[in-house]
Homo-oligomer: A and B are copies of this chain.
Amino acid sequence: MPNAPIFILIEPQMGENIGASARAMLNCGITELRIVNPRDGWPSEKAHAMSSGALDIMPPVQIFENVKDAIRDCHTVYSTAALPRTMVKPVMTPRAAVRDMVEHAQNHEKIAVLFGRERSGLSNEEIALSHALISIPVNPEFSSLNLAQAALLIGYEWRMMADQTPPVDIPMGKSFPATQKDFDDVMTRLENELTQHGFFRVDEMKDLMKQNIRNMFMRAQPTDQEIKTFHGIITALLGKKLK
């Protein structure tokens, strides 16, 4: 994974929001936090409490007096903001922005993401300092995200970009999917018992019903252990003693 982006909070008002943002960052493996002019000063007890320990694990937060200083050593800068009508800049979804960040980060650039003030966001002068804007495509009728939620969504996309977790996994412990031989055996046994017990009353329907029964259990894709359980169920229902 290349250099993670630096998150820069511009004049955040509430220590709680700083702490919750730090927690969201570390949840996503992003550890460098800069703050421009935190309203209530720094360090902040409220921020530390809300970070659930994240601020103790992350490198010390760097404090700056203005945005230009905070991005001085960075190469590519993104702002979470709506595009002012007077500007021509790329506006990206978080997913596309992160793809773009990875390209820059692989080039060993330092990447920064600016987050605006809770109420008033970023000024046009601040937005002008960024190469691209990130717009989170939430419900247009209820679109206000708090600071930590915006940080979480961008951090999450960053993390997902490199995440190797299989999208779907069925952990089986010591079990393993049953072989088709074992599956066929238990199905054949079930069908034989059902035949003997008069389950298939209409002979022409027998094959179709057999197929449907197999389809239902096939969708479950039983493990080798579950096939044994299945045999036990049949034995028990037959009124026989389990071995």
Chain A interfacial positions (CB closer than 8 Å to B): 24, 26-29, 52-54, 57, 83, 85-86, 88-93, 95-96, 99-100, 135-139, 142-145, 148-149, 152-153, 156, 159-160, 163, 165, 167-173, 175, 223, 226
Q: Is the CB of A88 within 8 A of B153?
A: no
Determine how close the nearest CB of chain B comes to the CB of A79; give it in whole angstroms.
Answer: 15
CA distance in complex: A171, B84 (Å): 10
Knowing A137-B159, A149-B152, the reply to whether A91 touches B169 (Cβ < 8 A) is yes
Q: Is the CB of A145 within 8 A of B27?
A: yes
Residues of B within 8 A of A165 (CB): 93, 135, 137
Number of identical protomers = 2
**Cross-interface CB contact of A27 among B28, B139, B159, B175, cutoff 8 Å:** B139
Q: Is the CB of A88 within 8 A of B142?
A: no
Main secondary structure on A side of the interface with B: loop
Q: Which residue among A29, A96, A169 has the maximum number of chain B CB atoms within 10 Å of its CB?
A: A169
**Cross-interface CB contact of A168 among B53, B91, B137, B144, cutoff 8 Å:** B91
Q: Is the CB of A24 within 8 A of B149?
A: yes
Determine how close the nearest CB of chain B comes to the CB of A13; give it in whole angstroms.
Answer: 16
CA distance in complex: A149, B23 (Å): 11
CA distance in complex: A83, B110 (Å): 38
Q: Is the CB of A170 within 8 A of B138?
A: no
Determine how close the nearest CB of chain B comes to the CB of A130; give it in whole angstroms.
Answer: 14
Q: Is the CB of B142 within 8 A of A91?
A: no
